[in-house]
Amino acid sequence: MNNNHIRYLSQNHILFKEAIIAFSKERAEKASTLVKLYKTTADKRIYGYLVLDFSLSEDIVCGDLTIFKSEKIDFDLKDTFGQQISWTYISAVRMPEYVNFLNSSLYTLALSSICSFAFERPVYSATEYTYEKHLEKKASLEELKHIGMSFPILSLGNDGTESRVHSSIISQWIKNFKEIYKVVNTFSETDNSNSKLTFYSFFQIMRLVQLSLQNKKNDFDLSFSLLIAAIESAATFYSMPISPTKPKEHKQWLKLRKSGDPIINNLANKYEELWAKFSQVEKDSQLSSRFIKFIFECAPKETWEETIDNDLLRDGINYRQKYPHEVSLQSELTPFTLSDEQLEEVIKKTYSYRSNFFHKGISTPHQEHKNSNRNRFFEKTLNMSRYNKKKKETHLNIESLYNLHAKYELMSCIARVSITENAKRTTTKPKLP
């Protein structure tokens, strides 16, 4: 990537690779418009804005960066009873000292991807410039309304967004953010150009997760497939494919390309071409196994307990321990209920859903698109083909009639844990002198 190529005007067209450059001071210094030529005091810092779908109840301070607790912005939209049904939450961001006025929105764009990845929630960055005449102080209420209009929260019936988040969950999200922010900065200061996972790749993977979260409500199948694609991207950096064993005559046959006989030359060249294609097919066939290996080594099933449902979101991490009998009348199906072989089969099928969606246009089998207090981890769907074949059997095993699918919230948790763990392992390298 050419670090010196940053567009002077974005023209409301996002190139996320520019945001990646802007977030790293070391890389931003190589571009002429991203870094201030002078130092400024804290009261002269530039402000940006993040748009959230929940109330961030406390400030997040990471060195020179501050994300302030959010303000609730109500819009003039009410139901027939006069109650507010549309609002949003906006957090001001005091950017690090080096961030320049020009293209400052690139920094908050990159920051929004980290926040979204850490919180497992859709987070947006403000690109509106109605407030740019005074970027060195916070925007007014009217300007915040203008910023938030593009990302309203609607509370209509059972499909409204759950924006009430318990303080213990907020604390955990902030902890996740600080961990990932530290990893990003370690990447930024590390010479990892020859490593498997790079600073740019890590950011693009987080961006995939962010786009997944942002699209979940509008297109679940696309959202789920993007989430799996993000994990797959990280998995390809984690372990390399194994090349097929070459025939013992391989080198001898390749030497025939320089023989004087044109027929032999053509045969040898064709062999080389076919061998290259065969090798690639063999490597591609390992994608599923590498995906499974990555998940179980970087996000073992013990970490899946971090998956959040709406009850935990509202009532806190300890809700299930405090009220075990109020969760569900039936026992929860957890990762520890299933054998390792069953879990691997579920993850293997999950990978196939992504492939089927992107390559064949086949929707995912999920039917419950919102997480449930009855089951955080898996969703059961009736296999009609299996049901029609077995419904006449005398001793019918009901459970055998259902297919088991990993839920979006489980895969979101796995994505955050596994991708972060792999990045942490990658950044344990010597720093640049």
CA distances from 426 to 55, 184, 191, 202, 216 (A): 33, 11, 11, 10, 30
User: Which class for 114: exposed (0-12), middle (13-18), buried (19 or more C-beta within 10 A)?
Assistant: buried
Cα first-last separation, the chain: 22
pLDDT tens digits, the chain, 433 residues: what are they?
Answer: 454 567 755 666 788 998 998 898 888 877 766 777 666 666 678 889 999 999 999 999 999 999 999 999 888 777 777 777 788 899 999 999 888 877 788 999 999 999 999 999 999 998 755 445 456 667 888 888 888 887 877 765 555 566 779 999 999 999 999 999 999 998 876 656 666 888 999 999 999 999 999 999 899 999 999 999 999 999 999 876 667 777 888 788 787 887 778 888 888 888 788 877 877 777 666 678 899 999 999 999 999 999 988 778 888 887 766 766 665 556 778 899 899 999 999 999 999 999 999 999 999 999 877 776 677 899 988 877 766 776 666 566 666 778 899 999 999 999 999 999 999 988 765 444 3
Distance CA 322, CA 313 (A): 15
**Residue 182 CA neighbour count, 13 Å, CB half:** 12
DSSP 353: H
Beta strands in 95-208 (DSSP E): 124-125, 153-154
Q: Which of 103, 112, 109 is nearest to 36 (CA)?
A: 103
DSSP 61: E
Reduce the DSSP state of residue 199 to 3 states and report it: helix
Count of H-run helices and E-run strands, the chain: 15, 9
User: Which class for 118: exposed (0-12), middle (13-18), buried (19 or more C-beta within 10 A)?
Assistant: buried
Q: Which long-range contacts (CB under 8 A, 24 or more apart) does 417-420 make?
A: 417/298, 417/299, 417/303, 417/306, 418/231, 418/234, 418/294, 418/295, 418/298, 418/299, 419/117, 419/202, 419/205, 419/206, 419/209, 419/230, 419/231, 419/234, 419/298, 420/176, 420/179, 420/180, 420/183
User: Which class for 149: exposed (0-12), middle (13-18), buried (19 or more C-beta within 10 A)?
Assistant: middle
CA distances from 204 to 114, 207, 210, 412, 426 (A): 10, 5, 10, 16, 16
Residue 89 pairs in a beta bridge with 52, 72
For residue 369, give every residue at least 6 positions away whose Cβ sits within 8 Å of its Cβ, in sequence order, or none.
216, 220, 408
For residue 239, give every residue at least 6 positions away whose Cβ sits within 8 Å of its Cβ, in sequence order, or none.
290, 293, 294
Q: Which of 377, 303, 392, 371 is nearest to 347 (CA)?
A: 377
Residue 365 pairs in a beta bridge with none
Determine how β-strand 378-382 pairs with β-strand 71-74.
unpaired
Handedness of CA 97, 100, 105, 111 (dihedral sign): negative
H-helix segments, 219-261: 220-238, 250-255
Does the global pTM surpass 0.75? yes
